[in-house]
Amino acid sequence: MIKIILPLILSIFIAHADNIDDFMNRQQEVGSLLYKQYFGDLIDEDIYDDLLDYKEDIPTLLIFSSRSVPKATMKNYVADVNTLQLNHFIIYRGLGSETMNSFKKLASKEKTFFAKVHPILFKELNITKVPTLVYALCPKEFRYKQCKYLYRVDGDVSIEYFMQKIYDKNKDEKIKKYLQKLNSTLSYKANNND
């Protein structure tokens, strides 16, 4: 059903958008509605409400991806952003049947993620290789032109590695908390896999 509805809704908004910014704003609204409709029971309501009430820019992790990114890498990214409960988006250049299939494989009751199709952001940030991780400060209602893009790493690296590199540069307390969460989860997994 999503395969039919999403392209239809996006094509309607493309036809009625006055410019590309208007289209991107409408795409965000549709994405939020669809996410709430299909995954609403999976959202931690307290965290979701906190994000909606937040008045300042929110730390946001952008994960640029495509069908060529290994499934294991994407599963690790989804697990890590769920552990961190960090505002995030998995960004794809386009929406094809392969993208929809990867959404289905990543989604589960335990793990949720936010995905966007945003070819313009690939161009604006000159993303030529995937995966690419970008740490930014963005408004609660994501508008790519209003984000402050702070750090970036290209290549198949873990979120923990990326956060460690950021922390090594600026000793930010938020990043330190993210690292502590990731490390405690990794320790727990290592101790329970024996």
pLDDT in tens, 96-124: 777 677 667 666 655 778 888 899 999 99
Quote the pLDDT of residue 186.
61
Quote the pLDDT of residue 158.
95
Tokens 């909606």, residue located: 52
Residue range 30-35: average pLDDT? 44
Quote the pLDDT of residue 86.
87
- pLDDT of 191 strictly over 60: no
Q: So where are the chain's domains?
A: 45-192
Residue range 33-48: average pLDDT? 44
Chain centroid to CA 91: how far?
A: 6
29-55 exposure pattern, b = at least 16 Cβ within 10 A, e = fewer: eebeeebeeeeeeeeeeeeeeeeeeee
Q: What is the pLDDT of residues 22-31, one digit of tens each?
A: 544 544 444 4
Structural fold of domain 45-192: Glutaredoxin (3.40.30)
